[in-house]
Structure 1
Amino acid sequence: MTASTVLILGGTGEGRRLADLLRVELPGAHVVSSLAGRIATPRHPAGSVRVGGFGGVGGLATWLREHRVCAVVDATHPFAARISAAAAEATAACGVPLLALRRRAWSPGSGDDWRCVDSMEEAAALVRTIASRVLLTVGRQELGAFAGDRHTWFLARCVDHPDPPLPARVEVLLDRGPYTVAAERALLDERGIDAVVTKNSGGPATAAKLTAARERALPVVMVRRPACPHDVPEVSDVDAAVAWVRHRLAVPADH
């Protein structure tokens, strides 16, 4: 690989769009998208793709050196705190520039009834006091936090089937966004949902459930994002990430 290798830590729509744009706008760069491998059938971006972990900070640092990476864009999920922290540490050790590409967080609007918490455990403790039938959209790896609740009925929507432990009263719905407000409204009505639990992932693909919950005057237990690593520049726009990579590679804007 050349010294113009760019690593995208991906798995998000923003990461896929960034890979697509870089392939067109910076054809001389070698773009590698890394996916964690936690989804059985991930949507692959354009260009080179690697799947699986790096083996911690040391493994990632070794990979960066061996592949002569000149820039890293962390376009992982806003809740992928572990890989984001590892990326910050590994790039600092190697002297490789790092940019965080994060979609903007959702924010409550008029008519929203959000109950914000800092952890999945707090969400599980709160929801059992305010609801009996809950739409749970927190990802398959977080369902264990609700396993001790034997009274609440959950509709757990996941991309892949979750592993135990699971709540005692749960229906698993395998589905993948984007979702429409009409479909989310119908789901809430058909299942008799009286509360929604979700992460503040941001972005339009899964925001329809928040609109539907507002229309039905349902409470939403919203898990706040984990803190991002300090001293890592951050953008929320894919075009801004392209410009950052272009600058790192010293490619003229009219190239």
Structure 2
Amino acid sequence: MEISLRGKKALVGGSSQGIGKAIGQQLAASGASVTLMARSGNKMKDIISELPTDQGQKHQFLEVDFTNFNSYQEIIGGYFRDNSVDILVNNTQGPASGGAMDKHVEDYQTAFDLLFKTVVFTTELALKGMIAQKYGRIINIASVSVKEPLSYLTLSNSIRAAVTTWAKTLAADVGHYGITVNSTLTGYFDTERLKGLNGAKAKSFGIPIEEVNQQMLANVPVCRFGDPKEYGYLVAFLASEQASFITGTNIPIDGGMLKSL
């Protein structure tokens, strides 16, 4: 099976590094014109310079700060005044780590604005064009913690769970327009985010980061961290015509880590 996204336009959040970057690269390799979206303009400029254009793709980027909703609203609103997309990948940086006893109501509001408010606002804008053309792919990058909460990620656990239940509801509302809505549940991937979280945990417990890594891998049946490229393969499939009968799902990509069905 060949995945072709030729002629499609994609908007990918959090795409200056890690999983978002790998998704943008794979969508472009499959033929899509990609708009990257993140805080680091220099990083995105370098990524775009290496993206393929052999299928007529035209790539660009938006320099946005997901933590500043007012600024984000203005920038993304301006983008959609002049553009439409076929594929929307909702992805942002994660909120601060910490347990439930470490967080206060203001922290949950900040995480809500970052993980939920930006996603809903962007999706509302993207849906206008998708409904008009009767085609669209909305893919939300979530976490395995919505099924099995991780004690040190209480903000992510809480707000990403809201995103996935919202997505399930939206999928039922827009399916008749030829639009699919799916969420991917991220396990342990070899990214800057994971290195940062594990470094903080190692410091907190006074142990080497290698020990933290090994403790994590003990829970992963395939005995390794994921390669971000593998994430790109899954999203490219969900963005394709071949995935038109898949919607309203939460798809783990975790090397078998989740114990629940």
Instruction: Please state which band the TM-score falls in when normalised by the shorter chain.
Output: 0.3 to 0.5
TM-score (norm 1): 0.42
The structure that is helix-richer by fraction is 2
